Amino acid sequence: MVPRYTRPVMAAIWSPENRYRIWFEIEALACEAMAEYGAIPKDAVKVIREKGDKALAAFSAADLARIDEIEAETRHDVIAFLTWLAEKVGPESRFVHLGMTSSDILDTCLSVQLVQATDLLLKDLDEVLSALRVRAFEHKHTLTIGRSHGIHAEPTSFGLKLAGHYVEFERNKARLLAARAEIATCAISGAVGTYAHLDPRVEHYVAERLGLQAEPVSTQVIPRDRHAAYFCTLGVIASGIERIATEIRHLQRSEVREAEEFFHPGQKGSSAMPHKRNPVLTENLTGLARLVRSAVVPALENVALWHERDISHSSVERNICPDATIGLDFALARLSGLIGKLLVYPERMAANIESLGGVVHSGEVLLALARAGLSREDAYRIVQRNAMETWTKLGTPEGKSFRENLDADPEIAGRISADLLDSAMDSRQHLKAIDAIYEKVFGEAGPAA
């Protein structure tokens, strides 16, 4: 992920320093476990732990360079690290990595990094939820038009729109917690997963201390269906970001102008057109959603490794693990910020509701006529005729409002009272269930209108 869309806190998780720190921790814990179960001397482990902790605490660019140098010769990253570690630890290093295979370190480390990344994403999600909740209550009674197919349908509230995104992000949080469990596993099972040179208790010891589960069957590698499920979840969350970004982009359109991204003082929307205030943040989120989703297909293609493992997944994961988590972290952080600062224009929302001459109340009028005894088919025909008459002449000299047209329709005359029509055309009736919905979503209805 390019630096432009990278937050340091997530990038740090994917740094070589963090990786080597985790590698050492896994090796050290495995040594402790082996000592515990009698395979290696406890004294040696003490030395490994002390000198190793010290070397990692003091880890510098020179150490990075040294490891790279060894890898250039051995062409094997774990061997390079172990050789460097041996230089730091001394003769006791011969007890490190005994009976283990590189993937025991690599895959368990990836699990730890993905868990760290996920915990950050969960925090991001909480901030999105918090921002949505605040604004949903703020605009619980802010009437706005609901739109299907981009066409005015019936009134709703702006808060209810946000509540819908809120529950979607609650689902996303639940999915991410499930995905975290998918990838929070540990494998220390040797060359093909038989524990041939290892006590299975080592794996349990390490797993427990790292907050992971022991993998039931690993085959040198942790099976990649777990990672596929994980990246699919990131893709679903990214799509949820795209949905709310698309909503805001629509609301900010020049013809709609019901909401607007905060525009910074000094900001220039266009080098050529000084009047521009563009929804660039939500457009950016739309693009980031595509990027995060682009990890889904390669992650699925990574599942069918050959036999006990091949290494085709590795180059994929070296990229998609940082890219997708960094991209999603950036997008979620941007999203919570923009929701919090979103400019909302209730007057414009109110004006837009009425901008089609009142035809948005056609559904309620239809029901009123049906209740008054007309067949559904007749009622539909009459209401559609008046709505179309209103719609097609909107803004022309001969244009009349929906109500005017209804009042003048002989098929309606006498069937339905003016009071009933008034009530059918009152947008506020559409909020009658809002308390019930908020109770369902937030566990509380909040203050009355």
Query: Which residues are identified as catalytic?
Result: 149, 270
- Is residue 236 a contact point for a second copy (CB under 8 A)? yes
Which of the ranges 17-25, 115-123, 314-322, 405-413 carries the binding residues for a second copy, by CB under 8 A?
314-322
Site string for a second copy, 239-278 (x = CB under 8 A): xx-xx-xxx-xx-xxxxxx------x-xxxxxxxxxxxxx
Partnered with residue 157 across adjacent β-strands are 143
- Is residue 417 a contact point for a second copy (CB under 8 A)? no
**How far is C-alpha 266 from the geometric centre of its chain's CA atoms?**
31
- Is residue 8 a contact point for a second copy (CB under 8 A)? no
CB of 102 closer than 8 Å to CB of 308: no
- Is residue 305 a contact point for a second copy (CB under 8 A)? yes
Which 182-201 positions form the footprint of a second copy (CB under 8 A)? Answer: 182, 190-197, 200
Say if residue 331 is exposed, middle or buried (CB neighbours under 10 Å; 0-12, 13-18, 19+).
Answer: buried
Which 103-122 positions form the footprint of a second copy (CB under 8 A)? Answer: none
CB of 16 closer than 8 Å to CB of 60: no
Instruction: Name the DSSP class of 91.
Output: G
- Is residue 334 a contact point for a second copy (CB under 8 A)? no
Give the type of residue at 17: E
Which 419-438 positions form the footprint of a second copy (CB under 8 A)? Answer: 429-434, 436-437
Residue among 53, 127, 138, 225 that touches a second copy (CB under 8 A): 225
Reference 228, options 283, 165, 338, 304; nearest CA is 304
The greatest distance separating any two alpha carbons of the chain, rounded to the nearest whole angstrom, comes to 102
- Is residue 219 a contact point for a second copy (CB under 8 A)? yes
Residue among 370, 372, 420, 445 that touches a second copy (CB under 8 A): 370
- Is residue 159 a contact point for a second copy (CB under 8 A)? no
Cβ proximity to a second copy, 275 vs 418, nearer residue: 275
- Is residue 304 a contact point for a second copy (CB under 8 A)? yes
Residue among 384, 408, 417, 449 that touches a second copy (CB under 8 A): 384
DSSP string spanning 132-172? HHHHHHHTTT-EEEEEETTEEEEEEEHHHHHHHHHHHHHHH
Cβ proximity to a second copy, 56 vs 143, nearer residue: 143
Which helix (H) or strand (E) segment is 247 a member of? helix 225-252
Extract the runs of DSSP E, i.e. beta strands, from 340-445: 343-344
Residue among 359, 412, 421, 425 that touches a second copy (CB under 8 A): 359
> What would the two tokens of residue 195 be?
């524990």
